[in-house]
Structure 1
Amino acid sequence: MRRCETVTKAVERPATAAQARDRVHALLHSRPESLDEVVLTDALLITSELVTNAHRHAGGVTAFTARITDDRLELRVEDASPQLPATASRHRPGDIGGYGWPMVCQLATSVDIVHTAHGKAIHVTLQLR
């Protein structure tokens, strides 16, 4: 049974992680139900990591969608690289980077990666309650 469905599809791709966070923040605050601050922070961290990684490592964001269905936030970030996100090497503790992806996987309810004709799409869900 669907209690609440709010959908937003960005007409323009976010040029920065801050723009993507602003869109997700506005979407989450459009709900009639109050939102726990920890969940809000998790949602914004996940958004920031996905968009930053797409810009930094994957040729940029090619599509961005955020929507709320039932009590879940669904994010989909598409980029221009078929490479999977990297994680920091345990054998090289001085490595810079590679820590955001494990955080996304830890915070999210589910994470799926699908290869597309021009790169990949990362679909993340986060339980809002």
Structure 2
Amino acid sequence: MDTVRASVAPARPGNSAADARRDARAFLDGLLPAVTSETADAVLLAVSELVTNALRHAGGTWSLELTAHPDSIEVAVHDPSPQAPRMRTPDLNGGTGGFGWPLVTRLARTTAVTPGPSGGKTVSALLTR
């Protein structure tokens, strides 16, 4: 299998994590050989969490790029905030979150936060295929 890359959700304010999951699912469904259901679930969860973080903490504008390598899938979310994700104690009662970044770091083989040229960042997660 060759490396396959797609920008599946260009930056558009107001698009939801559900939109990103739908687009990511379409990308995954087009891969040959097909990914396992476990890999698809992990990728969709990482997409959902990273886009939700961009919506909540980075002003709501984001773009998503997925790259399929022979042994992994890379999820990269670009947003305009320079703030890197941070670990925090999950809020079990108040609904303020704290679950997303720890979840992504557990799902991924590696994660990276790369500053963007115009002050934003790209948060990426590499998941085993």
Bucket of the pairwise TM-score, normalised by the shorter protein: 0.7 to 0.9
Larger Rg: 1
CA contact (8 A) 1:4 1:71 kept: no
TM-score (norm 1): 0.84
Identity over aligned residues, as a percent? 31
Residue 72 and residue 88 in structure 1: after superposition, are their counterparts in 2 closer, same or farther (change >3 A)?
A: same
2:10 to 9, 12, 21: 12
Provide the aligned length of Structure 1 versus Structure 2.
125
Cα shift readout 1:33-85 (whole Å, capped 9, x = no counterpart):
23221211111000000001101111123432112122211111111211121
1:89, distance to aligned residue in structure 2 (A): 2.6
Residue 37 and residue 83 in structure 1: after superposition, are their counterparts in 2 closer, same or farther (change >3 A)?
A: same
CA contact (8 A) 2:43 2:75 kept: no
Counterpart for residue 87 of structure 2: 87
For structure 1, which runs of at least 5 residues remain unmatched after alignment? Answer: none
Q: Report the RMSD for the aligned CA atoms in angstroms.
A: 2.1
For structure 2, which runs of at least 5 residues remain unmatched after alignment? Answer: none
Higher mean displacement: 9-18 or 100-109: 9-18
Flag as ranges the 4+ runs of structure 1 deviating above 4 A: 92-95
Distance in 2 of aligned mates of 1:37 and 1:84: 30
* 1:39-118 equivalent positions in 2, closer than 5 A: 39-89=39-89, 94=93, 96-116=96-116, 117-118=118-119
TM-score (norm 2): 0.84
